[in-house]
């Protein structure tokens, strides 16, 4: 989201995550499975000073969402700047 705070982006990602859970996803009735949504959120300049660093921070945050059990939104921490 351009021109949005990291908190606003987190809230929107949470809305999307919840909405996706309510959709009946079924490609094959005998092989249905729940669909989950994981997202990483990073904001400029609070989490990174450059575009490349911002993308790395968001990527790290989404990997943390997956590692922590998926189906969640994780906001980057300032510590990801060193990565």
What are the average pLDDT values for consecutive 10-residue runs of the chain, which has 83 residues? 82 95 74 84 90 93 96 85 44
Name the H helices within 1-83.
6-22, 51-67
Closest CA to 41 of 83, 68, 80: 80
pTM of the predicted model over 0.75: yes
Give residue 40's pLDDT.
96
Q: Closest Cα partner for 42 from 17, 79, 68?
A: 79
3-state secondary structure of 21: helix
């Amino acid at each position: 989201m351009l021109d949005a705070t990291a908190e606003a982006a987190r809230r929107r990602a949470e809305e999307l995550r919840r909405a996706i859970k309510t959709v009946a996803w079924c490609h094959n009735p005998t092989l249905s499975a729940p669909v989950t949504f994981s997202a990483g959120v990073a904001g400029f300049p609070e989490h990174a000073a450059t575009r490349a660093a911002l993308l790395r921070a968001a990527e790290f945050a989404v990997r943390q969402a997956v590692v922590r059990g998926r189906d969640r939104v994780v906001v980057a921490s300032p510590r990801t700047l060193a990565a």
